[in-house]
Amino acid sequence: MQIQLKQLCLQYDCEGRKSDVLQDIDLQIGRGEFIGIMGRTGCGKTSLVQLMAGLLTPTSGQVLIDGEDINSRHYDKTILRGKLGYVFQYPEYQLFETTVYRDVAFALKYSKLSKKEVEARVRQALEDMGFDFAAIREESPLALSGGEKRRVAIAGVLAAQPEILILDEPIAGLDPQARDAFLKLLKKLHAQGTTILMISHNADALADCAHRLIVINDGKKALDGTVEEVFSHEEVLSQMHLDVSFASRMSKKLALPHSVTYEAFVQNLKAKLGGDAQ
Ligand SMILES: Nc1ncnc2c1ncn2[C@@H]1O[C@H](COP(=O)(O)OP(=O)(O)O)[C@@H](O)[C@H]1O
Ligand SMILES: [Mg+2]
């Protein structure tokens, strides 16, 4: 297992009172999985992924990455930084360099890569995020639009070519075209072997990309399974104020075989209409 959470608990100190944010989370994540994480606002999603990334320390329990406890005193956190990329929610607020190039190259500053290799990585990451490298490289990040800033910030994480990519609501607020292009890129990275964990409220996007969904409710793991399995619990999800995908909802309404992606839904619908017409 690449990522293992064992009996993970997190409490925050709230004006002297301890409040439980995450309770007894056990989780096993294999190399190359694409996992969606869902849950209503405040349920603990961000805290969960920050624990995996070593950005928060658990109150109790363990986070193992490639079998090593990342919170052990002997663990060298530079190893984790080398293999895990973390895209914060609203990463666009974290741009601070004078040019786009410098911002994207920042994560490679302490790597052993040559100047030429750094440039190749920066170019690739910016092109992957839909930019014309020559046109954008000397721009000031501050002069870009909100969507462009976010794409630059994500390029900064991709340039390090992480084995594990964690994204906290990366598509919220993107326009449909930018969102679709971004999801396509995630699918490409996944096909190349990257392990991806994406928090999102967008059930359609998760159905489109992820293979497995983990639902967090009130600090606990409520559901964990394939997208098909999790979306078959429409009522349970609705009680948690969560949506299933359009395809999942419509296939139930139309009494079609259960499907979660738009493509599968259309195919099933066509098959039914074709069958009925005969
Ligand atoms: N630094 C903090 N101090 C105290 N409470 C916090 C802190 N960060 C988050 N919380 C609380 O922890 C809970 C889970 O937050 P979070 O992990 O951000 O949830 P989500 O990402 O699902 O919206 C919320 O109730 C939130 O108010
Ligand atoms: Mg959050």
Domains and CATH numbers, the chain: 32-54+77-227 (3.40.50.300)
Tell me whether strands 220-226 and 60-65 are parallel, antiparallel or unpaired.
Answer: unpaired
Gap from CA of 104 to ligand 2 centroid (Å): 24
Instruction: For residue 106, report the distance from its CA to the centre of ligand 2, in Å.
Output: 25
Full-model pTM: 0.94
pLDDT tens string for the chain (278 positions)?
Answer: 899 999 999 999 888 888 999 999 999 999 999 999 999 999 999 999 999 999 999 999 999 999 999 999 999 998 998 899 999 998 888 888 999 999 999 989 888 899 999 999 999 999 999 999 999 999 999 999 888 999 999 999 999 999 999 999 999 988 898 899 999 999 999 999 999 999 999 999 999 999 999 999 999 999 999 999 999 999 999 999 999 999 999 999 999 999 999 999 999 999 999 865 54
Phi, psi of 192 (to 5 degrees): -85, 0
Provide CB contacts within 8 A for 229, sequence distance 6+: 223
Ligand 1 pocket member 15 (CB < 6 A)? no
Ligand 1 contact via 134 beta carbon (within 6 Å): no
Q: Round to whole Å and give the CA distance between 261 and 255.
A: 16
Q: Tell me whether residue 6 is exposed, middle or buried, using C-beta atoms within 10 angstroms of its C-beta: 0 to 12, 13 to 18, 19 or more.
A: middle
